Chains A and B, each alone.
Chain A
Amino acid sequence: AQKVTQAQTEISVVEKEDVTLDCVYETRDTTYYLFWYKQPPSGELVFLIRRNSFDEQNEISGRYSWNFQKSTSSFNFTITASQVVDSAVYFCALRRNAGNMLTFGGGTRLMVKP
């Protein structure tokens, strides 16, 4: 069975602080895919990144960066110099190689205060 755990249910930071959202996953598959989605207050789910299990390179996109560590089954997400517009619920998700359904973590609500 697959499982995704986002232990931080809520994080509050002040604008311009850096913040890291944790994601730990469990799977017996050797090939799998990891994702992060953002759900702003308006409610839609916005894709941020996907990562294949065989690609452990970290990735940076503007103020966003992702740290994938297979040894600890973690796929953490860091926002540098946070902004109020980053306030949202962030979901980490896992997909098996065989099949396309996503298993989501419980989400982390990030509140960025001015």
Chain B
Amino acid sequence: DTAVSQTPKYLVTQMGNDKSIKCEQNLGHDTMYWYKQDSKKFLKIMFSYNNKELIINETVPNRFSPKSPDKAHLNLHINSLELGDSAVYFCASSQERIQNTEAFFGQGTRLTVV
């Protein structure tokens, strides 16, 4: 059973489109995240979310928005896609109440904007 799963694994779309990436975790964790990995492999936090608080990295454009229908899901919506949005997006989860738990990552979604 996959702990953190993302769909789709690959996404190719045209500039200007709106797209979503889905993420689900079956670990019972209370906090979920989205990270972006650029072409140089740099990993950067985009959002951290639990049922109380959304923390947004201030460098993330407001075209990106996380949506959480319930504790087990955190989807990423991207409006008006741009070429620079091409990257690998990773979803992750962890248990916040136990501070030193590691984050478990999904397999990543490779987004290509053409």
Q: Name A residues whose Cβ lies closer than 8 Å to a Cβ of B.
A: 33, 35, 37, 39, 43-45, 47, 50, 52, 89, 91, 97, 99-104, 106-107, 109
Contacts and interface: CB of A to CB of B under 8 A. Distances in A.
A101 B33 contact: yes
Interface residues of B, number: 26
B108 A43 contact: yes
Contacts of A35: 102-103
Top 5 closest pairs, chain A to chain B, by CB: A45-B105, A104-B43, A101-B45, A47-B102, A44-B107
Contacts, number: 56
Contacts of A109: 41
Chain B at the A interface: SS class: strand
Contacts of A101: 33, 45, 48, 55
Interface string B69-103: 00000000000000000001010101010011011
B25 interface: no
Given A99-B55, A106-B40, 9 more contacts: A47-B102, A89-B41, A100-B33, A100-B99, A100-B103, A102-B45, A104-B44, A106-B41, A109-B41
Contacts of B35: 102
B31 A107 contact: no
A104 B36 CA distance: 11
Nearest to B29: A100
B85 to A, nearest CB: 18
Nearest to A89: B41
B60 to A, nearest CB: 12
